[in-house]
Amino acid sequence: MNSERSRSLETAALSGIVGNLALAVLKGTVGYAANSKALMGDALHTAADSASRLQEMLFSKGGTDHGMLARLRNGEKVRTVISVVLAILVLMSGLQLGISAVRSLSSSEPQAPGLYALITVLIALVLREALFQFQYRYSIKHGHKAEADRYANHERYSLYASLIALIGMIGAMTGEAMEWPALLYLDPTAALLVACLVLRKGYLMVMNTAYRAPAQPLREEDSQRFMETIQRVYGIVTVEHLHAQETGHFITVDVTISVNPRITVQEAQEIADRAKNLLLARFPQVTHVQMQFISYQAGYPYKSNHELPDNDASSLLQ
């Protein structure tokens, strides 16, 4: 069950990476042909999204146990190097985009993009929204609420980049049609703003790499305190897995719990959220909790605070 949930999460993430790369190639090609710095910037931000998602997958503990991606996860040095390279590429690309936009702003009179570039942006927006809805609903359906929230956060900034590019292109095209030269500068101005978003993405990727390594496993007695706290949450049958790591003064906890197989996915997610919030509230040094849940399989010799029969009495205090 747990491996199936991990594979479902990885499937949604990979579909997003491939889809974003395809959209980036489409927008980048059209942007170059139409001489639109704004559209090329939007393409670059979409590609940076793919790089960011790939970085997150490299450091995730879920996923399949075979294949190239799994081998990269198991190699601490290799995945750290790849993560750093991806972050540097995004930062350098954002910097190059910003320099190119400034040069266009300092030129005598920029050129307005063609109508087909505007149509491409609108089509890409529709396709991007469809891809996001697939990932978001797929993650919710398979019980990955935290992953769905992460998709929503990525989508918000991607939407900002696309809207900025769209406004810049429309402004430049309007300036050309109505012979207002000042409006022609909106396209490179939009590219400069999108470059800032790309640089922000690269900075977050650098920080993500810095906080991920080096991490040291927590002492067994400290992990036991987390285990006891989680077991106090009503609805949790067993704690199947708990792994805590300390990075500097901060602690990240990866937990897999089992719940009553008769409850719904939404109810199981609510139980997992309560356990996560309890850990964050009682232990200030814990900064991140990755909580996953699976259906309880009868036959395990573990004590439970949630009776599987139709009995709602709890054996532990809340």
Verify that 198 and 230 share a domain, yes or no: no
Verify that 243 and 99 share a domain, yes or no: no
Closest among 25, 65, 56, 58 to 42, alpha carbons compared: 25
Q: What is the pLDDT of residue 9?
A: 67
Domain range for 253: 216-295
Verify that 109 and 132 share a domain, yes or no: yes
Verify that 22 and 46 share a domain, yes or no: yes
How distant, in Å, are the alpha carbons of 13, 22, 95, 203, 293 from that of 124? Answer: 19, 10, 24, 26, 35
CB 306 within 8 A of CB 236: yes
Out of 183, 212, 241, a domain closes at 212
- The reply to whether 85 falls in a domain is yes
| Per-residue confidence band for 251, with pLDDT thresholds at 50, 70 and 90 | confident
Out of 166, 195, 212, a domain closes at 212
Residue 12, token pair as written in the block: 């949604």
Q: Are strands 286-295 and 216-217 parallel, antiparallel or unpaired?
A: unpaired
Which comes out higher in pLDDT, residue 138 or 212? 138
The total of structural domains in the chain comes to: 2
Amino acid at 305: N
- Per-residue model confidence as pLDDT tens digits over 79-95: 778 888 999 999 999 99
Verify that 127 and 251 share a domain, yes or no: no
- The reply to whether 183 falls in a domain is yes
- Per-residue model confidence as pLDDT tens digits over 139-170: 777 666 667 777 787 788 888 999 999 999 99
| Per-residue confidence band for 313, with pLDDT thresholds at 50, 70 and 90 | very low
Q: What is the pLDDT of residue 123?
A: 93
DSSP 8-class letter at 286: E
| Per-residue confidence band for 246, with pLDDT thresholds at 50, 70 and 90 | confident
pTM over 0.85: no
What lies within 8 Å, CB to CB, of 242 at 6+ separation is 223, 226, 227, 230, 253, 254, 255, 256
Out of 194, 212, 230, a domain closes at 212
